A and B are shown apart, each in its own frame.
Chain A
């Protein structure tokens, strides 16, 4: 769009939005260039960054170099940190895994574990993930010069604590997180399903260590998760182990755990070789390797595709069980699906493709690299959100994955927001005091489908205090839940009757409050030479750019809603903001952003009212047409 206002911003220095797949085993970053999403390689021309972070005496190492330290420094090297996001030290998931040492749990932080690494340093999963994100950001900066906002993907079943932790990690890495979106939704976006068709889609995601199945309903840009399922301990690593067993047998070892050789370097070699065999069998019908046998003599081993498939059938049958359950939960037969999407490197195995085909009775979509498809979709969404793409045609509406509620009498949960509502969303409920002269309400926010609070995930506890003593049942507490477009919750509570209104905003914190994040940002390497001012200037400039772009677009497309003189006033305000954005005064930029907001508010309200009227009206026209037709 040619625009005098937008020309003020140097197009070459325009911030470029990015999409990030923050994965359990590996992560990657992509951006839309010339209308097409593309992944961004690092300086070694590698696209996939292993999600491994190693803490050493000389600093932090991320990626392949960190991975190679895992065997020697298991405690200092955090792998699969995604499994720990938003989870407490007592969480069964946390207890199950890995060689890590954890710091004692802190009372106020039920949803945070702390790894004790090199030199007794304590790090949270948020900080570890931020290291991965920072590495990706640097690769993106090398390629794009200035990185704009980021869209980060999360599994569809992630709860509020896990989403909040992911967003905090993004902020900590110095990213402006535009949005969190669900991984299967991102995969569907990468295939362009949002504009092509409506219907039910299955996203079959078999990664290195996890399997997820999601049934999505696409309806004119709404992506509703109908059901999810999976197995958090099933993936490509298990296929490698299955091959390793075949190889061991051929090398003369007896079967069974007791006879597995214990030499760690031999085991490493064995597993690496097994992985190479798996990769080779994607194209070849057999693969040959030479390894020392049980007597130490070199021996050649041949693994055919047939033997490999026989060994992994039992693994795939486990995915089949999860898929059938997900279909049943969604109330669908396989024939009713409109498409199946493959995600995750393990879906490159030809047998997986044919297995999925048999399961869903159709050829799965697999023409986009299954390792990259999620990041590519995230880049598409980032591009849309930054106002670069054809935004009016596509609107992504994810849904709330799990119900949100508060604990009422006897530990029972009152669900305030049921699952599957499109987000952003909100709801209100009123409660009253149980006892005479009760001067405070304790509010316990939980997430989950179960009836008792103890069976749900605890998100936050807070107390509304200072209510004047009244007889039981007199005070009226109004609790408002709001879930933003990232699926993140904030809770407000106020007491209505006394006229003393109180509002308490609760933003569940996962070990890091805003101040801590700010301080960590300052300490972080990226900002070593910068000061807070530079960062504020950059942030406000981005915000100014976004708002001027959006306002410009709105004024052009809905010109008929402008009242006399309004266009000039808004135009003047935009001009001043654009001018200020060229300078270095963040306070002035912030002030003018608010000013533009104020000047354009009546216009914005008119646009909203018309959008509402059209939404309702559109329905009626539809109904009439259906009756007539």
Chain B
């Protein structure tokens, strides 16, 4: 399945997510069973189309999944077992940041957790910007794209870090 085609947008990384959300909503509206006459078969077909549309929307709105989809569509295999391992330097840095986050959590220091999250968000944005540039510059060339696959691993790490932050926020909020 090509999620870009399902939602009728060009295959590029920097999508206008606000516009895409509206398209998703318009499609949900178009596929609503109330819009379709007849009995069960029409409704079932509408619903299975709605499943495809939602799947596409979930992929395209997620920076990691969107990158994975674009790499796959251009023949670059993705998935943690298919991609080259991240550099030891990056892994080391990752480990240290995780420890710092854990310290902040133990200290119930929500302000520090937030500051770390903001820093990671900025770095994630920078990686996304460079991915957008890479996808656009490669112009569909498989080998040129393959050289950027390492960015995917970084993006995944940042995503997990931010998920951890949101879990910490929930836990600390409950304690209050």
Contact = CB atoms under 8 A, between A and B. Distances in A.
Interface of A: 219, 221-222, 385, 391, 395, 397, 417-418, 421-422, 424-428, 450-451, 480, 482, 484-485, 543, 547, 550-551, 553-554, 593-594, 596-598, 600-601, 604-605, 607-608, 611-612, 614-620, 622-623
Given A424-B50, A426-B51, A619 B19 contact: yes
B23 A619 contact: yes
Contacts of A554: 37
Contacts of A593: 39
23 contacts: A219-B25, A222-B25, A391-B34, A395-B35, A418-B58, A422-B29, A425-B50, A426-B51, A427-B51, A427-B58, A480-B51, A550-B37, A551-B38, A597-B38, A601-B38, A604-B42, A607-B36, A612-B49, A615-B29, A617-B8, A619-B19, A619-B26, A620-B8
B34 A614 contact: no
Nearest to A616: B8
Given A615-B26, A619-B23, 6 more contacts: A427-B55, A485-B34, A543-B39, A550-B38, A597-B39, A598-B41
Interface of B: 7-8, 19, 22-23, 25-42, 45-51, 54-55, 58, 167, 170
- Of A428, A482, A597, A619, the most chain B CB neighbours within 10 A belong to A619
Contacts of A618: 26
Contacts of B167: 451
Nearest to B32: A395
A597 B41 contact: yes
Contact of A426 (B25, B30, B47): B47
Interface of B is mostly: helix
Contacts, number: 122
Contacts of B27: 612, 615-616
A335 B58 CA distance: 32
B8 to A, nearest CB: 3
B31 A616 contact: no
A562 to B, nearest CB: 13
A397 B25 CA distance: 9
Nearest to A450: B170
A598 B45 CA distance: 13
Contacts of B19: 619, 622-623
Nearest to B170: A450
B33 A424 contact: yes
- Of A547, A596, A612, the most chain B CB neighbours within 10 A belong to A612
B90 to A, nearest CB: 26
A616 B37 contact: no
A351 B92 CA distance: 61
Given A597-B40, A619-B22, A605 B45 contact: yes
A480 B39 CA distance: 22
Contacts of B37: 547, 550-551, 553-554, 600, 604, 607
Contact of A597 (B30, B42, B47, B58): B42
Contacts of A385: 34
A426 B50 contact: yes
4 closest A-B pairs by CB: A616-B8, A426-B51, A550-B37, A611-B30
